[in-house]
Amino acid sequence: MKPAPFQARKLVSRTRGGIALIIVLASLVLLAILVAAFLSSVATENVTSKIYANGASVKLLAQSAVNIVQSEINDATHNPAYCWASQPGMIRVYDTTGTAKGYYKLYSDSPKMIDTTSFDYTANSVPATW
């Protein structure tokens, strides 16, 4: 038996409405997945950039210590009017008569890294608490 024309139209209308609902829901799910993926990638990029910035900062700090020591070595050894003698951790500078003219510490145990007097080892001895 054939359905009446009115009943056939109802059936087609209901099927189209169901398909439209499924398409809209699928589109919303796909959009939600895309938004979640975007937010996840943004969070990952933020963490990655912070890690890179911290690494670059540490590298610069480490390199600055090397640059300070290289600068002190250049200052101590490039004056033709003075002679110099090196030892582990220090360069001593003398004039042509052998009088001490200063020292350059290549380590940082005190705020005075360069001095124009002779080095007093008693004032710079290792503390008893070490």
According to the model, what pLDDT value does residue 20 have? 84
Per the structure, the complete domain to which residue 93 belongs is given by 79-130
Mean pLDDT in the chain? Answer: 82
| Domain total of the chain | 2
Residues 9, 25 share a domain: yes
Q: Rounded CA gap, 117 and 33, in Å? A: 72
pLDDT tens profile 54-81: 999 999 998 998 898 898 899 889 988 8
Strands 114-115 and 100-105 turn out to be antiparallel
Alpha-carbon gap, residue 79 to 113, rounded angstroms:
18
Question: What is the distance between the terminal CA atoms of the chain, rounded to a whole angstrom?
Answer: 105
- The whole-number average pLDDT for the span 76-92 is 89
Q: Is 91 found in the same domain as 29?
A: no
Q: Which of 39, 60, 78 is the last residue of a domain?
A: 78
pTM above threshold 0.85: no
